[in-house]
Structures are given as C-alpha cells and as structure tokens.
Amino acid sequence: MKFILLIALVLSSYSHASVKAIYGEDDRLEYSEVSLEYKRLGDATGAMIAKSKLSLQGTSYYFSTKTLGEEMMGNQFRNGYLCSDEAFHSQQTLSTCSGFLVSSNRLLTAGHCITGKKACSNYLWSFGLSESKMREGKIHRDSVYSCKRVIKRSSGKRDYALIELDRSVVGVTPLRISKKSLKKGEKLFTIGHPSNLPLKFAMNGRVEEISGESFKTNLDTFAGNSGSPVLLTKSREVVGILVRGSLDYVKDLSRGCFVANRCERVRSNADCMGESVFNLEYLK
C-alpha cells in the first residue's frame, strides 16, 4: 500500500510500499450485498476524509468529488488511464485512509495515515460510508467526527495509530480485538475504502505467512485500505491492521489503459507479494 493516494505508476515501475492487488477472483462486495451482521461491522469502519473536500452548509457536509476513472486520469497514471470496464470505474472517491472503532470514541488506523503536525486536525472521519450514502453527495454533520488527539502512533514494523475522536459514535458497536494467537491458513476478510471508494468488504482471504509483528494475506485490497481492520471469518474479531501490499494497477498493453493487478497466488511474481498486515498481538 502507499500512503493512501492512488498509484501513479507505469508498467515498468512497480515497487511501492503501500500498493495492493487482486488475488484470483475479485471478492470485493458492496455494503448492500452483505448480511446484517457484516453491515454492523461496516458501520464501525471509518473513512478518513480531508477537511478540504467537505463544505459545511447548514446541517450537512457537502462534497463534489471525482469518480475513480476521473481520479486516476492524468497525473495519477503517466501516459494512461483506467480502463472503462474496470470495477467501480464510475463510483465516487472521497476518503484517504480507513480505520475502525475500538471503543465509542477511539479508533485504530495505520500509523502512516497520521503523519505531520496537522494530520489530526486536517482530517474528519465518517463511518459506514456506503455507495448509497456517497451518491447523496452529503453527510449529515452528526455523522462526521474530528480527531481530538492522537493517543499513540507508531510506524515501521508496528504501523498503527490510536486516535481519540471529539465525541462518541452513538448507535455503533465497536469491533472486538481477538485475544488468540493467529495461525497460518486461518480465513480472513477486511472492510475499508479501496482506491478511496465507498465502503467495500473484501472476502475469502487467508493467512499466508506469519513473520514477527506482521503477517501476509491474499485479500483483495488497494491503496485507501490502509488502516482497514482485518478480521477472522469465524469469530468476526480483528486480528490486524492492513498496512501495505502488492502493486494496485498494471497497464493492459493491448488496450493501452490500466487494469487491476491480478495475482493467481501470493508470491507468484515480484508484483504479487501478498498484502501485509500489522499483527495486533503486538499492539502496545
């Protein structure tokens, strides 16, 4: 993953610490496509939004943003653009990072999402920001939260930030952090904002490799998923924070436009090294 901006790469330049990819079939689902149990987990998953993208008018924050196709045109790709038949091409983009509630007024995200002296004050948070909500072009001010303070932040191997919001998020159940030790092969899913899109659920992942304070998965994630909760399919408990991964997009040479990087399996080539997750067993 990169620090949450959409990737600006050409075919010959793949290496970047914060990009991601698709493994096998694209398993991403909309909020409207999942069960009520999963929806409740999505309601506790936050979108980190730059204040500059929102305009408070009366009781709502209004926004006018580019679609994914528009966002990835021009300076996002050198000499290229996103193929028009790519998934979510016409959906709006808004967020920068993802995060998730661990109490009524505290959330976890990736540490590299919260950098600089104004990282707390320059961003707002909204939860359960689905595609249908994005279509409205506004968010009620009661559903927008500011960062009161960064309680703790770490980068590098322990890539996380714990944030206190300005007030409690009412009517939402925070996610539970697992207390068990992770095992290779366990099934996983994640929730967040790939490519800064509305909320998506990436299903059917698994633990591929455990190495010290991180582990790798084959979840279908992209830049914008930084800070997403990674949960055990069986218990619905959080075991990690998504922080980086393989290349997001590659050029389709036959058409001249860019498509999602598809990996048949983790480590199949240099651009498919798996999605890296900070293991919450090491949260301190």
Task: Find residue 108's DSSP bridge partners.
Answer: 100, 162
Residue in 27, 43, 159, 248 annotated catalytic: 159
Task: Answer for the pair 4, 18: CB distance below 8 angstroms, yes or no.
Answer: yes
Helical H runs in 28-110?
Answer: 36-43, 68-71
Task: Find residue 249's DSSP bridge partners.
Answer: 260
Residue in 226, 228, 246, 276 annotated catalytic: 226
Taking CB atoms within 8 Å and a gap of at least 24, the contacts of 267-272 are 270/14, 271/14, 271/21, 271/246, 271/247, 272/21, 272/23, 272/246, 272/247
Residues contacting residue 118 through CB under 8 Å, at least 6 positions apart: none
Task: Answer for the pair 45, 99: CB distance below 8 angstroms, yes or no.
Answer: yes
DSSP secondary structure letter of residue 178: P
Residue in 16, 18, 112, 195 annotated catalytic: 112
| 112 catalytically annotated | yes
Considering all CA atoms of the chain, what is the largest pairwise distance in Å, rounded to the nearest integer? 52
- Give the residue numbers annotated as catalytic, written as ranges: 112, 159, 226
